[in-house]
Every structure is written in C-alpha cells, then in structure tokens.
Amino acid sequence: MRRLPVLLALTIVACGDEGLDPEGFHWEVEASTVEDLCNPPPLQEWQESYVYSLYFDGGATDLKIDDQTFATGTISGCRLTYESFLVGERRGPDDQFWVQWILEGEATLRQGGSSCDLDTDVDWFGTEVFTILQASEELGYPKDCTYTTTVQGTYLGHGENL
C-alpha cells in the first residue's frame, strides 16, 4: 500500500472545546490537503478539525491537542513558527512497516480584536508540511517527500473568556 494516510490524525485526536484549560489560548482549526508529493497519484482531499491550544513562555510556544504537546515553536507578533518532535509509527497491512516523519508549520494568528492581516472571519491561517524522513521500502514513500495542509480557524478564548 503506497498511500500516505493523514499523518496528523494518526498521532493526535481531535477534541471539542468543552473542558479547555484556562491557562491555554485556544483556536478551533480545520486542516485540509493542499499538496501530496509522496503518493502518485496524490491522495484525495482530506479535512479534519482540531482544537489547537497554545501555551506561551515569552516567545517560546507549546502547541497541544487534548493536553498532548505535538509541536514547539516561537511567536513574534502575529507570526507563529513551529515544529513537531520526530514521530515514528507503524503503517501498512498489520502495521508491519515503519515510517518516521516531522511536521513544520507556520501561521498568522490573532487573539480577540487585533487585525494581524487576516480576513475578518479567520483568526488562524497557516500551513503545515509533513516530511518523511525514513520509511520501509515496501511503503514506497520517497525519502524527504512532503505532504502539505492548510490550517485555518477561529479563536475560542483564554482564561475566563472560554
């Protein structure tokens, strides 16, 4: 099987906005396929919704889904850049093949009323690029191939504003 399943969905689970940690800043986002350079022909378009929670320590940022950190990054003004940890997982029939990948993302985001050069109906807009670093030959993924998604969404709040 050569198809590259949706990578993010395999490592993290979407959550609703109930019970969000008041210490985090939360956005409901939707990720969707933009480009698939790992599968000839490319995968069909994919969409998935998540709640991204950001935790700031100065300019350093942790990104979480369901209280699980999936990436770390830096923020400067409205611009966020982030990268996941190295992820390894089993794929294929009976999960017999191994693949390793990372995610690199960048986004423009706003919290509340700032403009941040975004459309009025979007508070988060960015891209995420998944890069295959290692895969079993049987899977047929070329080394360093990429799978790109757009991520956009709306601000849910922070603290008592949830």
CA 74/CA 57 separation, integer angstroms: 9
Task: Quickly count: other Cβ atoms within 10 Å of residue 80's Cβ.
Answer: 22
Picking from 30, 36, 118, 45, the residue whose alpha carbon sits closest to that of residue 77 is 118
Q: Is the pTM of this model over 0.95?
A: no
Residue with tokens 């940690």: 21
CA 43/CA 45 separation, integer angstroms: 6
Across the range 19-34, mean pLDDT stands at: 93
Cα distances (angstroms) measured from residue 80 to each of 26, 53, 83, 105, 132:
14, 13, 10, 8, 23
- Whether 35 shows a pLDDT value over 60: the answer reads yes
DSSP 8-state class, residue 85 = P
Q: pLDDT for 41-95, tens place per residue?
A: 776 778 999 999 999 999 999 999 988 999 999 999 899 999 999 988 887 788 8
Give the domain ranges of the chain.
21-161
Among the ranges 7-21, 38-52, 121-135, which has the highest mean pLDDT value?
121-135
| Residue 90 β-bridge partners | 98
CATH 2.60.40 fits 21-161, yes or no: no
DSSP 8-state class, residue 138 = G
